[in-house]
Structure 1
């Protein structure tokens, strides 16, 4: 008869089958224990990774435009084409004299186009000659003065068409971008620190960040439109989204 396993006098008698079963059971038990530890450690690390806060930072700078552009459009209409052309030439001379009197260099004002159109009504043909000039200058103060005195052209017989208004642009955005991004990031960290303070934590390193678009708008609202110049005073704005780790 084969020996059997039994508890006898505190002694555990083992046969080969029992030993294999026991060994398998121990391996499974140890495996489950190890898996439980790794799972728990992984959850702990995942929880720590989730300890972060995402905030937005804002930076705004008031700037003054460094480029003024003015597209000046004017026209003359007559039943005689030569008369309409002559009137446009006189208007062109008057406009050139106007800007010369304000101290603009000759090359600040350039022709950008001209066209002639006609229509016939009741057997009479009307000719319209249209001319466009463009002023481009970095002298913002002088450009503002020109806008303030633009109705002097009316006294010279020049009638500007709708849309002939000054526009101001800020072209040095790249010069202030780094400073503004840094400022927006500091603003975001300040917001993160307030969140962290409320939760009893500290703010760590930046985990990731996204820079928003830069916008340039009139500082005091949109003042553009016919007869009124755009404002040379601008507000540059950028918003960044930053994810900070919490400690």
Structure 2
């Protein structure tokens, strides 16, 4: 009886060790497979029209009589607003800022020649609109204000129009999907060339979205771009 029990125990232990060894071997193979990784990048790039525009229109005036200077600035601001509304831009999208007055006499140092005009004023009328196509078309006719005596200035950085694309969250899912598909195609080609089979995703990085103007001549056309980085396992 004791011998039989010992034999049975020995056989059970041997079977258990064999099973454990098989499991450990399979786990080791799986671990090695998980450690074989190919890293690929997937690109998605699309162009969209900006859906908002911020257009500052700045003009300047100069003179020696400060009250009269204020009057001329206010008159020209009215001309700018009339020009915009007559061109079809909604009045509630137009804002007239406060004029910036510079007293050149207070800034003069040394014995240099005095400026012809003591005061200069810069006034900005800003359009903030979602009708990008309309505003862009009006921009081409802005020179007509010069004929009405409005001295425009585009020397200030703040006077440049700004086009904004706000619908990024709407296009994100499709672009991420496109980048992922693109990355998988690259990974499958790599696996095929290395006589391997593409496995599961080990790690994925969505990547940062970037928005830029298509070029200097078309700032209202925005290029949206994302590069996703994905690690795939390789299986023999």
TM range (shorter): 0.7 to 0.9
1:147–1:166: 8 Å Cα contact kept in structure 2? Answer: no
**Unmatched tracts of structure 2, length 5 or more:** 1-20
Larger Rg: 1
1:88–1:131: 8 Å Cα contact kept in structure 2? Answer: yes
Equivalences, count: 208
Report 1:46-61 matches (<5 A): 46-61=31-46
Which of 88, 93, 102 in structure 2 is aligned with 1:108? 93
- The whole-number CA distance in structure 2 between the counterparts of 1:59 and 1:38 is 43
What is the TM-score with the length of structure 2 in the denominator? 0.80
2:80–2:125: 8 Å Cα contact kept in structure 1? Answer: no
- The whole-number CA distance in structure 1 between the counterparts of 2:58 and 2:200 is 56
1:152 corresponds in structure 2 to: 144
In the TM superposition, what is the alpha-carbon distance from 1:182 to its structure 2 partner? 0.8
Residue 113 of structure 1: SS of its match in structure 2? coil
In the TM superposition, what is the alpha-carbon distance from 1:205 to its structure 2 partner? 1.8
2:191 corresponds in structure 1 to: 196
1:72–1:132: 8 Å Cα contact kept in structure 2? Answer: yes
Q: Which deviations, in whole Å up to 9, do the C-alpha atoms of 1:90-119 show, x marking residues without a partner?
A: 210110111011111111111233222202
Residue 118 of structure 2: SS of its match in structure 1? strand
1:208–1:244: 8 Å Cα contact kept in structure 2? Answer: yes
Q: CA RMSD in A?
A: 2.5
2:77–2:96: 8 Å Cα contact kept in structure 1? Answer: no
Report 1:49-198 matches (<5 A): 49-120=34-105, 126-161=118-153, 162-163=155-156, 164-198=159-193
1:242 corresponds in structure 2 to: 230
1:218–1:235: 8 Å Cα contact kept in structure 2? Answer: yes
**Unmatched tracts of structure 1, length 5 or more:** 1-35, 224-229
In the TM superposition, what is the alpha-carbon distance from 1:41 to its structure 2 partner? 6.4
Cα distance change on mapping 1:215 and 1:123 into 2, 3 Å: closer
Residue 56 of structure 2: SS of its match in structure 1? strand
- The whole-number CA distance in structure 2 between the counterparts of 1:119 and 1:155 is 27
- The whole-number CA distance in structure 2 between the counterparts of 1:165 and 1:147 is 11
Larger RCO of the pair (alpha carbons < 8 Å, separation 6+):
2
Cα distance change on mapping 1:100 and 1:53 into 2, 3 Å: same
Residue 117 of structure 1: SS of its match in structure 2? strand
What is the TM-score with the length of structure 1 in the denominator? 0.76
